[in-house]
Chains A and B, each alone.
Chain A
Amino acid sequence: WILAWMGLEINTMAIIPLMAQQHHPRATEATTKYFLTQATAAAMILFASTMNAWTMGDWNINQISHPLATTTVTLALALKIGLAPMHFWLPEVLQGLNLTTGLVLSTWQKLAPFALILQISQNTNPALLTTLGVMSALVGGWGGLNQTQLRKLLAYSSIAHLGWMIIILQFMPALTLLNLTIYITMTSTMFLSLKIMASTKINSLALAWPKTPTLTTLIMLSLLSLGGLPPLTGFMPKWLILQELAKQDLPITATIMAMSALLSLFFYLR
């Protein structure tokens, strides 16, 4: 665990100067917020692992078994990636960054915590994971409804997708990985296309049609895919996740997740 913690800290330190590159006050504010949240999360991870080592005598990542320790470490990792109810930093931080850094934040930064999450998945509290997942999906959907800034929109979409990923973790971690991969691909597409068009608000997207019609079509398709419409690829993780949930006799959870996907779809559609 010590090495994992060190890795996470170095990751945070490395990205801080990248975020602060733009000498805009909002960028600095975003950097500060990010640093604070990530440092808190890392400290909590250290605390949880030490507590586990103290009570169970084990430093191994996937043998963390004391219930308090597992809960703490799950919450800490959730804070790191931005799951509800610890998601409040994500929209503002993302808003303060330029699009490339935002891309890195949304995609690459999620890989490390997810590696840890996957490894501790057997011992985590199922109720906690389900709560985190459902809340994230709902918050991601509701929060994005009133947004016009594209980066905040993508932040809320990230929260919603992470919710989907977490909820299947306890049943089939392979699906979490699949969802993560597909999400990274789709979000990278979105960020890169937005960067090409240099637009950060919904209004500026409306002018995109005369500039690059091909790119606009691609953006539309990838947005619909993010929303999870068949027959686009974005539907596949949602479908498989719902299938697993149904197999585990959790139809209500499945229906709630599906309806929250509708919320996200609404703001993608704009």
Chain B
Amino acid sequence: MLKILIPTLMLIPTTWLTPKSWVWTTTTAQSLAIALLSLTWLKWTSETGWSTSGPYMATDPLSTPLLVLTCWLLPLMILASQNHISPEPINRQRSYITLLILLQTFLIMAFGATEIIMFYIMFEATLIPTLIIITRWGNQTERLNAGTYFLFYTLAGSLPLLVALLMTQKDMGTLSMLIIQHTKPTNLLSWGDKIWWVGCLLAFLVKMPLYGVHLWLPKAHVEAPIAGSMVLAAVLLKLGGYGMMRITIMLDPLTKELAYPFIILALWGIIMTGSICLRQTDLKSLIAYSSVSHMGLVAGGILIQTPWGFTGAIILMIAHGLVSSALFCLANTNYERTHSRTLLLTRGLQMILPLMATWWFIANLANLALPPLPNLMGELAIITSLFSWSPWTIVSTGLGTLITAGYSLYMFLMTQRGPTPLHTISLHPSHTREHLLMAMHLIPVLLLVLKPELMWGVCH
């Protein structure tokens, strides 16, 4: 773990000490080296499932794919930000990169934490750099409002979590994940215990986000700069899912009865947010709502607590992280050229930017869960396990899949096909950097088709 943390922290002096023309190159290269190094975590050799590198930091097959995803995204974020940051003075560019690196460090420590309190502190700590990125470098005036929404929704959910965790520590004596998986199930009967259960889960449900408390997500995504959107969609939402998976270990057996309203909200949310996507005029908002929809599936999969549900959840999280981030990058390429997110103004791009149209095509196919891509693997696992939990869920999940296909195709057709409006004829051609960015997003998705065991080590 230290092999990865220390180079990441050392990236900060790197950004401040390299000469001006080399900053972006060196940071991208170094973060890419770190990402490749993080791939070594994917080899699980330990018997108990946890490979420890210290009493407080350990990796196991649940956290490793998410860790690798996080490390992989940092060079991609830096690549994506190059264009829109370049007009600013060099020190501000450096501080932007420093913020991204700090966020990365907190995320690595969050996913690698074994004490749940440490996970909590890192979970909260990731809010601060994200808040600064959204409010300082966002594009519209609504970004202040978005930042406030973001911070307060998340904090209102996580403060009860803190109290619940502290109460657990008092009762069980420890909050180390290594130990909790072996404790006997607690006897939870009274009303107070039910509130404790909700307190534990609420923070993660807000972060995921669950349909009822998802309002911060479209605001935050739309107002954030590209790197902010990428990291938000890809990793921060997964923090919520990961936290839920860890916490549900100690929440049995109450979860069987209490999870009903949340599962229903999640399933209903899939359909509702999918339908909203069909009526959106703002491209980034469309992708944001599609994130909510996918995460609703993930929430449903986790809350029913079956092995296939968990497996499907984590596969979908990884695949959705990569694909969603890729879609945001694509939307950003449009935004950088036309400075508008409105779908109507960025139509018919296949004529002008044909190679980018290929990437749009692949990303949208991945979003609608085309076989054999891992998106489908995850969705299928979750839908199957939900069906075995209750046959009626097939109504909402099936409808949800249909609507997802609908809006993904809608997004593709609106941006690529159709007559090109006259004002877009004089756009810049695609940069190599953008192609590289898209390739690095989508090639892992394709590679994961070949070896999905990397993702589902948890239950098989």
Contact = CB atoms under 8 A, between A and B. Distances in A.
Given A229-B128, A230-B124, A230-B125, A259 B159 contact: yes
Interface in B142-186: 148, 151-152, 155-156, 159-160, 162-164, 166-167, 169-170
Given A230-B121, A259-B156, A243 B128 contact: no
A239 interface: yes
Interface in B109-136: 120-122, 124-125, 127-128
Nearest to A239: B162
Contact of B151 (A245, A246, A269): A269
Interface of B: 106, 120-122, 124-125, 127-128, 148, 151-152, 155-156, 159-160, 162-164, 166-167, 169-170, 192, 196, 199
Contacts of A247: 166, 170
Contacts of B192: 251
B169 A265 contact: no
Contacts of B167: 246, 251
Interface in A212-254: 224, 229-232, 235, 239, 242-243, 245-247, 249, 251, 254
A254 B166 contact: yes
A258 B164 CA distance: 12
A265 B155 contact: yes
Interface residues of A, number: 23
For the complex of A and B, the 6 pairs showing the least CB-CB separation, nearest first, are A246-B166, A258-B159, A231-B125, A230-B124, A230-B121, A254-B163
Given A243-B169, A262-B156, A265-B155, A231 B163 contact: no
Interface string A157-177: 000000000000000000000
Nearest to B117: A239
26 contacts: A224-B128, A229-B125, A229-B127, A230-B120, A230-B121, A230-B125, A231-B106, A231-B122, A231-B125, A232-B128, A239-B162, A242-B162, A242-B166, A243-B166, A245-B166, A246-B163, A246-B166, A246-B167, A249-B170, A251-B167, A251-B196, A254-B166, A255-B199, A262-B155, A265-B152, A269-B151
Contacts of A265: 151-152, 155
A265 B158 CA distance: 14
B166 A261 contact: no
Nearest to B192: A251
A88 interface: no
Contact of A266 (B125, B152, B159, B169): B152
Interface centre among B156, B159, B199 (most CB of A within 10 A): B159
B124 A229 contact: yes
A189 B128 CA distance: 20
Contacts of A239: 162
B115 to A, nearest CB: 13
Contacts of A259: 156, 159
